[in-house]
Structure 1
Amino acid sequence: MVGQGHTSTTAGGGGGASACKLLEIFNVRVVGGGDKVLVLAHGFGTDQSAWNRIVPFFQRDHRIVLYDLACAGSVNPDHFDFHRYTTLDAYVDDLILILDTLRIDRCFFVGHSVSAMIGILACIRRPELFLKLVLIGASPRFLNDRDYHGGFERGQIERVFAAMEANYEAWVRGFAPLAVGADVPAAVREFSRTLFNMRPDISLFVSRTVFNSDLRGVLGLVRTPCCIVQTARDVSVPISVVAYLKSHLGGRTTIEILHTEGHLPHLSAPALLAPVLRRALSR
């Protein structure tokens, strides 16, 4: 486990200037106290601030690692390498490098959306690092296939990309309420804010990467226990994907269905999500 102590400042740990630079680039923070390490990894269109209403539930008895994905609007876009981030593997490299720099050797990992899949790839690569994965709104493939319902046809996705390219602001204003789902104006405002913070070309590039990825073939390599957390209705992930994940993940897997809607329950229903996370982490 990472060493004892309480709240550290941004980019605090690690060995050498380059390690500190890495923590600085991704705005890495370690907050809270306790023996257990909890990594909270945000999804597409948000940054670590998406966890602001979840952190208070866990910081008394967990050391919580927060960081921003390279594509987040809170990260200097000069650090986004279009050649490097063509697959999710580069994001996996970043995550493992952050954990190694912080000298964390065991952690619980909560990943939302694309970060759920980044967590899956990371625990295949370094299984000893992860005690448990909690996967919120996870999907191994968003596109429908012959015998697989991911929720989207190729033509639908291409129309989304065209809308993003034509008028990013208009696309955000339409997409944010759809994604949040539940009638929570504050969550829509917050998701819109972080989407607008992203540079539109990076946002489109990452969307293409996510929608073109297919992780179905590697799910069986996961041996770490997993908990799948899904809302009752999610515009991005149909409930059939949850059953697919449970039957194909290689480790012991449980499912928690939240009685709310939307793809971002940590923004729209944190008080509902937090006890479910606590239960998942205590098992």
Structure 2
Amino acid sequence: MFQNRKYKYLISEVIALVNVVKRNNISIKGKGEQILLFAHGFGCDQNLWQSLISYFEESYKIILFDYVGAGNSDITAYDSVKYNSLDGYVQDVIDIIETYDLKNIIFIGHSVSSMIGMLAAIKMPQYFSKLIMIGPSPYYLNDGDYKGGFDRSEIDELLVTMEMNFEGWASYMAPIAMDQSSDSPLTKRLEESFVSTNSSIARQFAEVTFFSDSRYRLGETQIPTLILQCANDSIVPIEVGYYLSAHIPNNELVILDTRGHYPHLSDPKLTAEIILNYLK
């Protein structure tokens, strides 16, 4: 009987592993022991990390994944109730960590994933050693003296456009987010990433991203944190970087001399050098 229970437990563990791997299309690269867990931002998938991770593969173990609805994730796993807040994405990150029994993780998140990683580290700090935030924002809306970058009416209009003409939204937003011309290769690459996501899921994720307010949670962060803020970011104003630095304990703020919201695409060498210097 004990043996049967043991086998049933092992089978359930294998099924759980397969389910999480399929759900989030997890891939593992690199030759090192230290874990770097990369989490992409809204409208992206793990492929947009490729220019950056080449700088880490020799010395680190790299784990990449797609949020449900992005890349090659399992779209049938999407639950509009679960993912109606950042908590659903936080739980997926924790599921990935626990599925592989990871410890001492360095979490590298872009944009909204910076807050997802922070919330996961607040919930389960024992799994994390460092947080690295690329273009983070705790709140994207302007609110009194807080300059998040957007007025409510602008986000409402953006959501309507996504619903009515998703491809038109993608072609409009990509050059703004990259801060490059509409025909530049990087803008085209970002636009293709936007379009590849499921439109209805992307629309809900956009609403969750832009309306979530994590400002009140910043002081709970106990994990050493590196904040990378682009000097000219059309999505996240430079004031947000200073705000985060003033409210997150034990952080280091670096202003990148780059334009746009995607320094891991526009200047992966500089981004990697700063991260590696911080880790060393």
**2:234 counterpart SS class:** coil
Contact kept, 8 Å, 1:138 with 1:237, in 2: the verdict is yes
Partner residue, 2:5: none
- TM-score scaled by structure 1? 0.91
Structure 1: runs of 5 or more not aligned: 1-13
Higher Cα radius of gyration? 2
1:216 equivalenced with 2:195 (yes/no): no
User: Percent of counterpart pairs with the same letter?
Assistant: 37
Partner residue, 2:8: none
Name the one with the larger helix percent: 2
Write the distance in 2 (CA, Å) between the matches of 1:73 and 1:40. 14
Shifted more, 219-228 versus 268-277: the winner is 268-277
* Deviation per residue, 1:123-171 (Å, 9 max, x gap): 1011121111010010000011122111111111111112112211111
**Equivalent residue letter for 1:228:** I
**Equivalent residue letter for 1:191:** L
Write the distance in 2 (CA, Å) between the matches of 1:202 and 1:170. 17
Partner residue, 2:3: none
Partner residue, 2:187: 188
Q: Match for 1:128 among 126, 129, 139?
A: 126
**Equivalent residue letter for 1:143:** L
Write the distance in 2 (CA, Å) between the matches of 1:40 and 1:269. 17
* Deviation per residue, 1:53-82 (Å, 9 max, x gap): 111110111001111111314323222111
Mapping for residues 1-283 of structure 1, pairs under 5 Å: 15-182=13-180, 185-250=184-249, 252-282=250-280
**Equivalent residue letter for 1:200:** S
Contact kept, 8 Å, 2:227 with 2:252, in 1: the verdict is yes
Write the distance in 2 (CA, Å) between the matches of 1:185 and 1:100. 40
Aligned alpha-carbon RMSD (Å):
1.4
* Deviation per residue, 1:16-42 (Å, 9 max, x gap): 112222112211111112221111110
**Equivalent residue letter for 1:117:** M
**Equivalent residue letter for 2:29:** V
| Aligned-pair CA distance for 1:117 | 0.5
Write the distance in 2 (CA, Å) between the matches of 1:55 and 1:149. 32
**Equivalent residue letter for 1:214:** D
Contact kept, 8 Å, 2:22 with 2:73, in 1: the verdict is no
* Deviation per residue, 1:255-280 (Å, 9 max, x gap): 11111100011112112211011112
Contact kept, 8 Å, 1:48 with 1:68, in 2: the verdict is yes
* Deviation per residue, 1:205-259 (Å, 9 max, x gap): 1111111100001100001111100111111100110111011113x11111111
**Equivalent residue letter for 1:176:** A
Contact kept, 8 Å, 2:29 with 2:63, in 1: the verdict is yes
Write the distance in 2 (CA, Å) between the matches of 1:256 and 1:172. 29
* Deviation per residue, 1:176-230 (Å, 9 max, x gap): 0110114582211211111111121111111111111000011000011111001
**1:190 counterpart SS class:** helix
- TM-score scaled by structure 2? 0.92
Contact kept, 8 Å, 2:46 with 2:71, in 1: the verdict is no
Structure 2: runs of 5 or more not aligned: 1-11
Shifted more, 64-73 versus 46-55: the winner is 64-73
Contact kept, 8 Å, 1:74 with 1:197, in 2: the verdict is no
Shifted more, 18-27 versus 207-216: the winner is 18-27
**2:138 counterpart SS class:** coil
- Which runs of at least 4 in structure 1 moved beyond 2 Å after TM superposition? none
**Equivalent residue letter for 2:189:** E
